[in-house]
Structure 1
Amino acid sequence: MFPLSAAAHPRIPAPAPARLAPLTRTGLDAAYTANRADAAQASRMAAAHGDTHRAAVDGSLAAPSRHLLAFDGRGSGRATEVIGDLAHADRIAVVVPGSDTSLDTYGRFRGDTLALYRELTRRAPAGTRTAVVAWLGYQTPGTVSATVLTTGRADQAAPHLRELIRDLRAMVGQEPRITTVCHSYGSVVCGRAAADLDVNDIALIGSPGTGADSVSKLHTPARVWAARGADDWVADVPHVHVGLFGTTLGLGTDPMDPAFGARLFDAGQGGHSAYFRPGSPSLTNLARIVLGTTKEMR
């Protein structure tokens, strides 16, 4: 059975995003401070609007321990959060979420990124510094909607993902190894961005497709990986292209199909939401991809 889509997001008032200077290593703290202040104001505005849940989410993002590269509390919301010491990291994972992810469900998404960071910290060779970026930088589609069957939202998101990667490359002085970890519809975003995405690896997990029929059609020099848990319902998504009222429904070849050409890795027995479960084969192998220790993969 497919999960039900979250309810439509109400129009929640919030301040416009902070206008910040281009990101630099020395300017990170100023960006974090400005975005936390926006989150605090958004929390107050949501509370006045009567939305106690959103007020609590925004308030948690405003905590001194949180490191926000970007924040926009309006509508379904956007946030880009750093876990770890980004300024000095030489291994960076950017996690791109799938459908039904918003500020209202942000806690679940952040939990996944925290799990990946902890696994990286545990497995990193001596002297290797890691960071994970949780990128809720686009309006995700609902799981049960026509939008999730097209590349439309991904096409809108792709330029913003490319911009984030360019900013990370420009900000971090050394040449970090960057991996995008793309879950569910997030793999469509990564697929649409891939041609100009300056990353070393693209890992597709629980993917319904990328909008392309093969790795070669992604036009990327990055290594492309794919995995699916044995109990993931996304395996039942049909891989077809159907024209309907000027829109193409369907997301291309299944990335698990050998014809697609991805490097397949073990994700264990888990379902669609289990890829970041501590102790799972999927989390172990994602960490190996990010760290560049894939020779250890089974």
Structure 2
Amino acid sequence: MRLIFMGTPEFAVPALDALVAAGHEVAAVYCQPPRPAGRGKALQPSPVQRRAEALGLDVRTPVTLRDAGEQARFAAVGADAAVVAAYGLILPGPILAAPRLGCFNIHASLLPRWRGAAPIQRAILAGDAVTGVTIMDMEAGLDTGPMRATVEIGIDRKTAGELTAELADKGAALMVTVLGDLAAYPPQLQPEEGVTYASKVDKAEARLDFAAGAEAAERQVRAFNPAPGAFFELGGERIRVLSAEVVHDLDANPAAEPGGKTGGPGFGRDDAGLVLDDRLLIGCGTDALRPTTVQRAGRGAMSADALLRGFPIPPGTRLS
């Protein structure tokens, strides 16, 4: 097919590669404009733009697709279809209608669950056991279009970064399969039950909420790894937690100092945010959280033991 590809972050790169490898003609690649990044705030092209340019493809980075001139330029490509993967801009009606066969989206959830901007993070935060990828026909609503195919994977204890990479590969392969025989994957309306919305991640959500329980805090750690990074504050400094484990009782943690008896075995609500031992075991009301990999501002990732050697956090410290 003659295709237009629309995507911006790393999640979309495997799909672009797969479409090219499958022999499709990618006539134009749309991605969001370069953004300031790094200490110097120099403009940096997106991962999709870098990859498309390396492949010698025509790259377009409009600020909006609502301009009539931009819509005419899009239509002039004469594409059979557009493939969209985390593009980041709303497609207005004239754009959706331009390709002969329509626009197809690679969405990182099992629709209708987690429509919206951050389906991977929301699935982890909610404690979902499984997630997946849906190939869908695009329409004006937010991820409401008919579904062509899905693939399911287990979340287990994966981080958002790990899950993103896995879903990107699965989605790329599934998109190629669907485009290879559209008649074999007829569109099916999404069920009306089970709709949930994955709102965009607010950086304030990454502050660890120890009072919500250790399991919820551990999900925060995985959902916000690699970005924006779950954290707690101590002495005005923000400490990111990159990995952590849940401790359900004190049997294997004899150095811990339990508080009240209203939470899980050996833990209480008064312990929320309280450092319970000399290895950074943190009370969470119900059970406790032990960070295993952490990062101070401006420094590389390190083990919690390495952090404590240069940055003591004694038992009894209350973390915010």
Q: TM-score, normalised by structure 1?
A: 0.30
Q: Greater RCO between the two (CA within 8 Å, min separation 6)?
A: 1
Pick the structure with greater CA Rg.
2
Structure with a larger share of its residues in helix: 1
